[in-house]
């Protein structure tokens, strides 16, 4: 089965967590909105599904994944599905729920990262809420990042199967997502992360192991991997890197 991923074509965003899982799985997929409209792609194809009135289960927002007759939305929900199909999650129900729980925690962190540069409203430019962003980012870096990443450090330390992974003894989609979190935070807050990482040896080691996995390394070196930039979740504003 060939998957169809629908996400905005110019940013990593939440779609990147899904891309990493598809790449690690070696899955056959189309990144539809990045394809030419002449081939049935582009943003127009995304909007046709997003605004479709005849869909039985319409998605609220990208990313969403078409898998045969299924149309699955919400990043954590898509990864729950892919993890079970491609060996990127534990086989047992308790393990699958644990991985899903961790992914939902990552989703909470992603929202807080976004709110550092848009603390008031997504409808305002960053420049219109710069003072509030400084205050939000300062608290985020001082308290929230250590709490979130410290939690994942603890989860790895307490993993009964060893401290190389978040869940079980094999790589999971949650490992891939935590890799993306570390990579994104390094881009957005390089000075703060240089300090914080000293207390996160397991999290940093996990990031480094994921980066050299053959399929992930090939993806990161390819044109399929979009660069970080100031339109996505992870944005670098030097004044916020306090």
Asked if 84 contacts 97 with a C-beta cutoff of 8 angstroms, the reply is no
Give the residue among 219, 206, 143 at the shortest CA–CA distance from 177: 206
Between CA 118 and CA 101 the distance in angstroms is: 26
Tell me, what's the pLDDT at 179?
Answer: 98
Tell me, what's the pLDDT at 52?
Answer: 79
CATH number of 3-85: 3.40.30.10
Give the residue among 29, 21, 26 at the shortest CA–CA distance from 4: 29
- Sketch the domain layout of the chain as residue ranges: 3-85, 93-225
Higher pLDDT, 242 or 2: 2
* pLDDT tens per residue, range 88-109: 999 999 999 999 999 999 999 9
* pLDDT tens per residue, range 58-76: 999 999 999 999 999 999 9
pLDDT cut 70: percent of the chain above it: 100
**Taking the model in full, what pTM does it have?**
0.97
Task: Assign domain 93-225 to a CATH class.
Answer: mainly alpha
């Amino acid at each position: 089965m060939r998957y169809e991923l629908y996400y905005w074509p110019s940013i990593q965003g939440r779609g990147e967590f899904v891309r990493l899982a598809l790449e690690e799985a070696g899955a056959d997929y189309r990144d539809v909105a990045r394809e030419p409209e002449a081939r049935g792609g582009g943003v127009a194809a995304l909007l046709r599904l997003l605004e479709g009135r005849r869909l039985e289960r319409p998605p609220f927002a990208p990313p969403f994944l078409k898998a045969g007759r299924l149309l699955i939305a919400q990043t954590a929900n898509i990864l729950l599905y892919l993890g079970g199909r491609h060996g990127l999650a534990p086989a047992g129900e308790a393990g699958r729920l644990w991985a899903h729980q961790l992914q939902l925690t990552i989703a909470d962190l992603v929202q807080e990262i976004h709110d550092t540069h848009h603390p008031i409203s997504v409808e305002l430019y960053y420049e219109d809420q710069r003072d509030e962003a400084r205050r939000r980012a300062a608290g985020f870096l001082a308290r929230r990042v250590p709490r979130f990443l410290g939690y994942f450090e603890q989860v790895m330390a307490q993993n009964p199967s060893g401290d190389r992974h978040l869940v079980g003894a094999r790589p999971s989609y949650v490992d891939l997502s935590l890799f993306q979190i570390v990579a994104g935070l390094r881009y957005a807050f390089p000075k703060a992360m240089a300090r914080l990482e000293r207390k996160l040896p397991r999290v940093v080691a996990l990031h480094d192991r994921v980066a050299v996995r053959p399929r992930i390394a090939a993806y990161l070196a390819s044109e399929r991997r979009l660069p970080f930039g100031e339109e996505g979740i992870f944005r670098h504003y030097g004044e916020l890197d306090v």
